[in-house]
Amino acid sequence: MGLATDHLESAPATIERLTRLWPPPRSILAWLATVDHKKLGKRYIITAFVFFALGGVEAAVMRAQLARPDGQLLSPEAYNQLFTMHGVTMMFLFVQPVLSGFSFYLTPLMIGARELAFPRLNSFSYYVFLLAGLFIYASFLIGTAPNAGWFSYTPLASSRFNSGPNIDFYALGLLFLGISTTAGAINTIVSILKLRAPGMSIDRMPLLLWSSLTMAVSVVFAMPALSAALVFLELERHWHFVFFETRFGGSPLLWQHLFWVFGHPWVYIVFLPATGMLSMVIPTFSRRPIVGHTFVALATMITGLVGFGVWVHHMFATGLPQLSMSFFGAASITISIPSAVQIFAWLATMYYGRVVFKTAMLFAVGFIAQFVIGGISGVMSAAVPFDWQITDTYFIVAHIHYVLAGGTLFGVFAGIYYWYPKMFGRLLDERVGKLSFWLMFIGFNVGFFPMHVSGMLGMTRRVYTYASSPGLNAANLISTMGAYLFAVGIVVTLWNVVRSRIAGEVAGPNPWGAGTLEWLAESPPEDYNFASMPVVSGRDPLWTNAVSPGPAYDEARLTPRTSTLDADLETAVELPHDNYWAVATSVTLLVAFGALLVRWYWVFGLALAATLLGSARWMWPLQSKVAETEV
Amino acid sequence: MTTAELRSDHLLPPAWKPSQEVGWWAMALVCMSEAALFAYFLVGYFYLGVENPAWPPAGIEKPKLELPLIMTALLVSSSIVLIIAEKQREHGKRALYRVGTTLTVLLGFAFLTLQATEYLEKLRSMGPTEHAYASLFYTITGFHGAHVAFGLLLLVYTLLRDAFGRIDPERPIVVKVSSLYWHFVDAVWLVILASLYISPRLT
């Protein structure tokens, strides 16, 4: 293996070998067991959108209930289950998995690799995500969905006030899901740090990868806080341990601290990757590299880091010491600085560039506008006295939706319009896309802006109805109408996605003239991503002619491994083939968690043993591969 | 195509460094995440310790130190034995490596046995559902015990891989990864010893 030119001359033989090494799945079982990051990434995104549709229907039913005062459509208990499942679905089953799906699909392509670092783990985490989602949703079948809000405060979530299995579905389901999230995060970190193309030193890495990296590191340290809280909750509910009961030396605030130590980083975990998407979309459609690349990367990391130090702002109304509240209020306001750095970098990129308003760019600009509103209402809420006024009102509902729906969701839609051609080889229809954008943009603002008002007027969140009063009636009716318009806009894009698979214009490798490595691959990429592994010598390599074809690595399923910071070539990593054991262990884990739910402890023990044996088998090297090296 | 051919000179660095391996990174991250889990458990322990007038509360005596100190000695020596065993492996002494790792497994098993003894004695005077202190004590030590058990399984798995000749002699990554986890579990125990057993005696 030598210079790039050697490879170019031997291309047909190389391609033939690579095609043989990456055979297409021949049966349904093989399709299930695939380890291809592209197939799994798309599965992640599609599955997440199915959950998104469910969460959307829940929201639509709630808005119907709230359209008029004294609504009779839902009982209080049904309403509790709906708002809880709406939150759980959107926070845990939609927004994080959809962003992870993009990350798993794009990361190897953007770093010029053939796979993620742990392809089988990727398949495992997809199936655990899917099964955990089904596990949580199974609660609907017996009419006992979680009903204490997505943050399930104790003692409302304790067995004394919540004796059914509702919260057990929540606690065990999220513990189960946490395995998937953590595994995915570790996979992301190692891939980004170790599998970057030779020459893609860390300062040349695209900004989306910086936000994926920050997201993943935050998951590694934040997820355990939720796991610890859920373990406590489940031990208290099932085994009568005490952690949150004051009578026995516990404290309900312990739940809140642990939950928000997880919960606030989580807000950035589900937000930062969307900013990373914007940092890819905006430069491409401004036809210039991003302004302040280094500052945006730093701002991303700082936001992730400071995100661990602001959790108390969710608890201003719980009677904490004044000093603690001042500190956390100040820390929360600090977050606006790195966020502003990102926003000004995007605006400057647009200002100095030549903006092309494709649909993806429209969504990006919509993100900026709405996120600024959500950011400002966030800074307002960080002021303790103001928070006392609006806490647990619709003002907070407006705030979180401006950040996560107006921000993250618009970012995801920008990502869909931007990367769909890469994933499916065809462009989405621009006219339909723009129609969808305007419907969503108008619907979103008409739906959620009045919630600021109803919140200020004192309408509390999570209450199934409200008494007729002049301000609230109009605000709620407008909110409902806007929310439905928003939903119509979303459906238009979904239709666009389905239709364009057949009717869309053929895209070609780089339809937007973008600068990063994923646009070097075919659209959709070959199963092995790149026939010759790219070698990089600058940022935005496709724009600056800073990429050259390296060796083919076609002796086996290989991808280059490089050093963490400078991306000097170290060696090649051998990639595994499709694998059934990763799928099987996800199923045995489901059995284990299901057994805990119904308290069949011997089944739990058996399923756990099966999981351990399955993982041992999964990682056991095959005779044919290793025997030859046993000298 | 043989794997041996693949590992020709241009693909392999001159000296193998485990910290360059993706598997080593993954295990390091698993350890960090688990360390965070124990940290949050201990946050619960110290938070409720501050909230309560006495910690351990009145009526529950401070945990005895003798047995935990013996357990500590077992775990620390098991880590040292494992380090020595790995060195033997690097010098090509596979038999000594197997003996050393087996000894580590036995020491870990002894730790778990002593923990069970401690539980049996403690449960007579303090049930886990009596008080938040007791709940936290059993949760934290119990989770650590489960981690020790998992570490043992990982070491046994490594021994099996070795016995069946399924370890790449040039890149014995599974050896490094399982011992990394084992040392991590030991380190967590030292923090638990300091927090649960020694700190109540400092007040």
- Secondary-structure breakdown of chain A: helix, strand, coil percentages, each rounded to the nearest 5: 70, 5, 30
Closest CA of chain A from B68, distance in Å: 23
Q: Provide ipTM, 2 decimals.
A: 0.95
- Whether A545 is in a domain gets the answer no
Residue with tokens 């058990």: B149
Token pair listed for A580: 């059934």
Residues of B in contact with A215 (CB under 8 A): none
Contact assessment for residue A146 and residue A87, using Cβ atoms and an 8 Å cutoff? no
| Bond from prior residue into A283 cis (ω within 30 degrees of 0) | no
pLDDT at A9: 45
pLDDT tens string B15-51: 788 999 999 999 999 999 999 999 999 999 999 999 9
pLDDT tens string A11-38: 788 999 999 999 988 888 889 999 999 9
Cα–Cα distances in Å, from A91 out to A37, A98, A174, A314? 23, 11, 11, 16
| Closest chain A residue to the Cα of B129, Cα to Cα | A241
DSSP B163-181: HTT-S-SS--HHHHHHHHH
Helix, coil or strand: residue B27:
helix
- Whether A597 is in a domain gets the answer yes
Q: Between chains, do B22 and A228 touch, taking CB under 8 Å as contact?
A: no
Question: For A79-83, what is the mean pLDDT?
Answer: 97
Token pair listed for B55: 């910690």
Dihedral sign from CA coordinates of A161, A166, A172, A174: negative
Closest CA of chain B from A203, distance in Å: 20
pLDDT tens string A281-303: 999 999 999 999 999 999 999 99
pLDDT at A621: 86
pLDDT at B11: 52
Residue A299 neighbours by CB distance under 10 Å: 24
| Bond from prior residue into B56 cis (ω within 30 degrees of 0) | yes
Dihedral sign from CA coordinates of A430, A434, A435, A436: positive
| Interface residue A129 vs chain B (CB under 8 A) | no
Contact assessment for residue B139 and residue A235, using Cβ atoms and an 8 Å cutoff? yes
Question: For A223-232, what is the mean pLDDT?
Answer: 98
Residues of B in contact with A189 (CB under 8 A): 25, 29
pLDDT at B168: 86
- How many distinct helices (H) and strands (E) make up chain B? 6, 0
Q: Between chains, do B37 and A242 touch, taking CB under 8 Å as contact?
A: no
- Whether A599 is in a domain gets the answer yes
pLDDT at A4: 39
pLDDT at B109: 98
The beta strand positions in A418-540, using DSSP E, are 534-536
DSSP B17-79: -GGGSHHHHHHHHHHHHHHHHHHHHHHHHHHHHHHSSSSSPTTSPPPPSHHHHHHHHHHHHHH
| Bond from prior residue into A108 cis (ω within 30 degrees of 0) | no
Contact assessment for residue A232 and residue A254, using Cβ atoms and an 8 Å cutoff? yes
* pLDDT at A6 > cutoff 80: no
- Whether A35 is in a domain gets the answer no
* pLDDT at A630 > cutoff 50: no
- Whether A434 is in a domain gets the answer no
Which residues contact residue B54 at a Cβ distance below 8 angstroms, ignoring those fewer than 6 apart? Answer: none
CATH number for B29-51+63-202 (one of 1.20.120.80, 3.40.50.300, 3.10.580.10, 1.10.10.10): it is 1.20.120.80
Helix, coil or strand: residue A404:
helix
| Band (B8; pLDDT cuts 50, 70, 90) | very low
* pLDDT at B2 > cutoff 90: no
| Bond from prior residue into A524 cis (ω within 30 degrees of 0) | yes
Phi, psi values for residue A477, rounded to 5° = -65, -40
Contact assessment for residue A232 and residue A244, using Cβ atoms and an 8 Å cutoff? yes
Closest CA of chain A from B47, distance in Å: 8
**Domain ranges, ordered by start, for chain B:** 29-51+63-202
pLDDT tens string A323-372: 889 999 999 999 999 999 999 999 999 999 999 999 999 999 999 999 99
Among partner residues B25, B40, B47, which is closest to A190 by beta-carbon distance? B25
Based on the number of CB atoms within 10 Å of its own CB, is B10 exposed (0-12), middle (13-18) or buried (19 or more)?
exposed
| Band (A586; pLDDT cuts 50, 70, 90) | very high
Pairing of strands A569-574, A534-536: unpaired
Mean pLDDT for chain A overall: 94
Q: Between chains, do A574 and B25 touch, taking CB under 8 Å as contact?
A: no
Q: Between chains, do A190 and B26 touch, taking CB under 8 Å as contact?
A: yes
Distance of CA A193 to the CA centre of its chain: 20
Residues of A in contact with B30 (CB under 8 A): 186
CA A353 – CA B118 distance, rounded (Å):
70
Contact assessment for residue A606 and residue A613, using Cβ atoms and an 8 Å cutoff? no
* pLDDT at B5 > cutoff 70: no
Q: Between chains, do B166 and A620 touch, taking CB under 8 Å as contact?
A: yes
Closest CA of chain B from A222, distance in Å: 8
pLDDT at A319: 87
- Secondary-structure breakdown of chain B: helix, strand, coil percentages, each rounded to the nearest 5: 80, 0, 20
How many domains does chain A divide into? 1
Among partner residues A245, A258, A555, which is closest to B1 by beta-carbon distance? A555
Distance of CA A537 to the CA centre of its chain: 30
Which residues contact residue A297 at a Cβ distance below 8 angstroms, ignoring those fewer than 6 apart? Answer: A207, A210
Q: Between chains, do B48 and A225 touch, taking CB under 8 Å as contact?
A: no
Residue A602 neighbours by CB distance under 10 Å: 8
Residues of A in contact with B5 (CB under 8 A): 555
Question: For B166-179, what is the mean pLDDT?
Answer: 91
**Percent of chain A, pLDDT > 70?**
97
Contact assessment for residue A427 and residue A368, using Cβ atoms and an 8 Å cutoff? no
pLDDT tens string A145-172: 999 999 999 999 999 999 999 999 999 9
Closest CA of chain A from B191, distance in Å: 17
How many beta-carbon contacts under 8 Å exist across A and B? 150
Torsion angle of alpha carbons A498, A501, A506, A509, nearest 10°? 100
Token pair listed for A22: 């990456």
Residues of B in contact with A194 (CB under 8 A): 20, 22, 25
| Band (B13; pLDDT cuts 50, 70, 90) | low
Range 222-261 of A in CB contact (< 8 A) with B:
223-225, 227-229, 231-232, 235-236, 239-243, 245, 248-251, 254, 257-258, 261
Q: Between chains, do B132 and A243 touch, taking CB under 8 Å as contact?
A: yes
Token pair listed for A141: 């079948």
Question: Which of B1, B5, B6 is the best mutation test for A, with the most CBs of A within 10 A?
Answer: B6
* pLDDT at B1 > cutoff 50: no
CA A269 – CA A276 distance, rounded (Å):
11
pLDDT tens string A187-218: 999 999 999 999 999 999 999 999 999 999 99
The range of the structural domain enclosing residue A624 comes to 582-629
Residue with tokens 């009636």: A473
